[in-house]
Amino acid sequence: MNVVPQPAFLAVDGWALGPLVALTLGVIALLLLEVVPQRENGNRGPIVSLLALGAAGWAALRVAHDKRVLFEGMFVHDPMTVFFTLLFCAVGALSVFSAWDYLKRTKINQAEYYALMLSSIMGMIVMAASNDLVTIFLGLELMSIPLYIMVGFRRTRPDSTEAALKYFLLGAFASAFLLYGIALLYGATGTTNLARLGTFLYDTPLPGNPLLLVGALLVFTGFAFKVAVVPFHMWTPDVYEGAPTSVTGFMSAGAKAAGFAALLRVGLRALGPIQADWTSLLAVLAFLTMTVGNFTALMQPNLKRMLAYSSIAHAGYIMVAIAAGGQEGAAAAVFYLAVYSFMNLGAFAILTMLGKGRDERVLVSDLAGVGFRQPLLGIAMTVFMLSLGGIPPTAGFMGKIVVFSAAMKHPALLWLVIAGVLNSVVSVFYYLRVTISMYMKEPEGEGVHVSWGAAASLAVLLTLAATLYFGMQSQGLWVQAQAAVAGLL
């Protein structure tokens, strides 16, 4: 806690809001600077975004050990906020790196892209820091609306536009569900504040109250859509495939983490007292999500689509941790989200490099022979795939360890753990297909062109380092994850 005497109180509050302020300033700067013409393919967008993200991360770190409740209890600054703020800044920075060359190559290098991305990150931070259903909704919209536009950023391509429209329509439905759920919860309990909701339910459990039940279900549906939990996952493959690759990477890591962060807050803070009633429902959903994701990913020829289904499967693994509940389950989910963000962003950073000019080569078969022609890219992709499959010594393996050990605590969830590990065997099959293509197949004709760029390479190197480091030295991240959820219960 803060040891500085009270006059510093305002300063702490200021710093706690620092990340949001920095990102807002970044957005404004990006948009205003558009007045000043820059040469084609200038680097202003990414540089300004990196500065804003750096400032945001720095502000969060300055008050990393403080705890504050702001705006009449609507916004909390606690270890979880700090953890997720830093995670989102990292995701943002890595996404900027992988977008840098990709946007120029595909001729969509516009400052608006970065402005939208920064506001989306702002929404993610608000979601993770919300202590009130209304703020969560604000954050969700602030995150989603820029994403709808980003998905459709390659507006000359019909699949991009289609994806944007699909995402927008279904996203609007999900928002409506969430809002309706919030309204019902308010009707049942008389408050939208998470802490007060929790206290109310603790004192008055309201068993079988239809308002509460339906409200909670609708709120969950809203989140389940965002994080792509079966049966609300239908949008994922089309949107992931149609969106520009740099956007897919960004949303697969960031939006998922934000959705789960808010879900954790609502689940533990507000609905914690009735958690036990949910365990079996969550367990079944976790099982379905893992299994449907993995089995549909098996035969996808398109890497972006395959990774879309894989992201559904990973949402399932995280759901296992959430079904396990409690401190350990929540910490495991947070740990897994961080690990997943790095390995998945790494894989997408590599995808942004495949192809020449506006051309995108993202079929599994396009990778034929790449492993030996581009040894570093091959090794990095192999590590990401193995990590996604949960093979040691990578971060994905440690993620699975913490998730499954959290679930093992409940003897009733043993079946889910066994289903989970068997699922990871299934998943290895399609992740191996990528290595098969890279190392064991010869390309027909020329083989795919790899558009190397300094920034994208940096993104790959950083994520590769993180994936290997957290695989072998996971203690630090695990302690941080535990600290992040410690205040929730």
Length of the chain: 489
Per-residue binding letters, 316-355, with another protein (x by CB under 8 A) = ----------------------------------------
**SS3 of 64-98:** CCCCEEECCCCEEECHHHHHHHHHHHHHHHHHHHH
* CA distance linking residue 439 with residue 373, whole number of Å: 10
* CA distance linking residue 90 with residue 84, whole number of Å: 10
Structure tokens at 132: 């009130």
Q: Is 70 helix (H, G, I), strand (E, B) or coil?
A: strand
Decide: 127 and 140 in contact? Cβ < 8 Å: yes
Q: Judged by CB under 8 A, which of 172, 428, 461, 486 binds another protein?
A: 428
Q: Judged by CB under 8 A, which of 323, 397, 456, 459 binds another protein?
A: 397
Q: Which is nearer to another protein, 12 or 337 (CB)?
A: 337
For residue 461, state whether it binds another protein (rule: CB under 8 A).
Answer: no
Please say whether the dihedral angle defined by the alpha carbons of residues 149, 153, 156 and 159, taken in this order, is positive or negative.
negative
Residue with tokens 């949303």: 251
Q: Judged by CB under 8 A, which of 180, 186, 295, 439 binds another protein?
A: 439
Q: Judged by CB under 8 A, which of 31, 440, 454, 489 binds another protein?
A: 440
For residue 468, state whether it binds another protein (rule: CB under 8 A).
Answer: no
Q: How far is the CB of 263 from another protein (least distance, A)?
A: 24
Q: Judged by CB under 8 A, which of 155, 356, 409, 489 binds another protein?
A: 409
Which of these segments, 55-63, 65-73, 119-127, 411-419, binds another protein (CB under 8 A)? 411-419
- φ/ψ of 331, rounded to 5, equals -65, -40
* CA distance linking residue 293 with residue 199, whole number of Å: 37
Q: Which amino acid is at 229?
A: V
For residue 206, state whether it binds another protein (rule: CB under 8 A).
Answer: no
Q: Which is nearer to another protein, 47 or 440 (CB)?
A: 440
For residue 391, state whether it binds another protein (rule: CB under 8 A).
Answer: yes
Give the DSSP letter of residue 365.
Answer: G
For residue 421, state whether it binds another protein (rule: CB under 8 A).
Answer: yes
For residue 478, state whether it binds another protein (rule: CB under 8 A).
Answer: yes
Q: Which amino acid is at 214?
A: V
For residue 418, state whether it binds another protein (rule: CB under 8 A).
Answer: yes
* CA distance linking residue 47 with residue 160, whole number of Å: 26
Q: How far is the CB of 343 from another protein (least distance, A)?
A: 16
Structure tokens at 417: 């753990």
Q: What angle, rounded to 10 degrees, do the helices at 395-408 and 303-324 form? A: 30
Q: Which is nearer to another protein, 71 or 429 (CB)?
A: 429
For residue 164, state whether it binds another protein (rule: CB under 8 A).
Answer: no
By CB under 8 A, name the binding residues for another protein: 372, 375, 382, 386, 391-393, 397-398, 401-402, 404-405, 408-409, 414, 417-418, 421-422, 424-425, 428-429, 432, 435-436, 439-440, 474-475, 478-479, 482
